[in-house]
Amino acid sequence: MNLFSSRIRKYSTPLFAIFAENKQIAMRIAINGMGRIGRVLFRRLVDHPGIELVAVNDIMPAENLLYLTRYDSVYGTFNKQMSLEENNMLVEGKTIRVFSEAKATALPWASLGIDVVLECSGSYTNAVAAAEHLEAGAKKVLLSTTGSSDIPLMIYGYNHHDYGKHVNIISPGGCMTNCSTHVLNILSAIGIESAQVNMLHSYTSRQEIVDSPNRNFRRGRAAAESIIPVEIDLAASLEILVPSLKGRIATVSTRVPVANGALGDFTVQLSKDVTAESVNELFKQAAVGKYKGIIDYTEEEVVSMDIKGNTHSCIIDGSLTSMVGRQLKMIVWFDNEYGFTSRMIDWLEELNRKE
């Protein structure tokens, strides 16, 4: 058979059938809540292949939303042509609906054919509340936080394989959970007697810019002026995800006066004698193997600014790993916004493959 006749055979199936078979239908998504995480997702998803950003919802005025999406103090100016036209945001020819509804049930997810709502408002973090998006017509809801105990906690790269199509509301954890789970799970192969985790984290919108009244007194202090310890529920989440840590872990977050970036300080009492070099080797192999794209490894003398925009959930700083007896000290870095939104995008791609 010559080359020409082989080509005829290859395309003997009707062309419309070939095109129909190969055409990928884009997942239609909406973002509810255009705060820090919502706006980072907007920037990253507006041109993402296989995903169509259909709509956003936030109670702020649309003009303010456009401004904050275009100009960002952490990631810089979004270099795309953007404008408002009635109830739409136009981004270089793409039209994205803009809503300002206080209640999820008022949103037209059904008529817009929304497959997944990215719930980034912080107001729908339990199963009953998040289900309002389903009631409005969305097929799935992906939170941008850990959520309550009645929502499955699935960390991408760790237990996301437990996802089943019957699950309609998913919590992908938060930035600190995604960092810690992988580190502690890998160390569990050695054996963990106890762990203390301190997350040195950039200040957030839940703190004040000047001293102000706050139910949590320390959160009311000026975020850019002090190092501020705050209580977090990270330990409870980690005990769910890694049951062997039950009663063996304590966590705290220390907010520091930077706008972006975080450092995880892990002090772990191991059950075996190991060297710092062998621990580093364990994470080096994980970074190029099972956890490739999720964790990274470096021995360069980086600081928090250097990991801005990094897509990994954690970057192991092997230059700072040390052992005293069986007590391990590990330092890991992560971009608390970009790294975490990378896992949310991983989840969208996973849902797109499974549905």
List, by residue number, the catalytic residues: 175
What is the Cα gyration radius of the chain?
A: 23
Contact 343, 170 (CB under 8 A): no
* Terminal Cα-to-Cα distance of the chain (whole angstroms): 41
- Report the distance separating Cα 260 and Cα 246, nearest Å: 31
- Report the distance separating Cα 340 and Cα 35, nearest Å: 14
Task: Kindly report the length of the chain.
Answer: 355
Q: Beta-strand (E) ranges in 33-167? A: 51-57, 82-85, 88-91, 94-99, 116-119, 140-143
Q: Any idea which residue has 């794209």 for tokens?
A: 293
Q: Any idea which residue has 């509340």 for tokens?
A: 129
Looking at residue 207, its amino acid is Q
Q: Beta-strand (E) ranges in 77-168? A: 82-85, 88-91, 94-99, 116-119, 140-143
Q: Any idea which residue has 């062309």 for tokens?
A: 15
- Report the distance separating Cα 335 and Cα 74, nearest Å: 11
Burial of 1 (0-12, 13-18, 19+ CB in 10 A): exposed
Q: Which residues are 57's β-sheet partners?
A: 32, 99
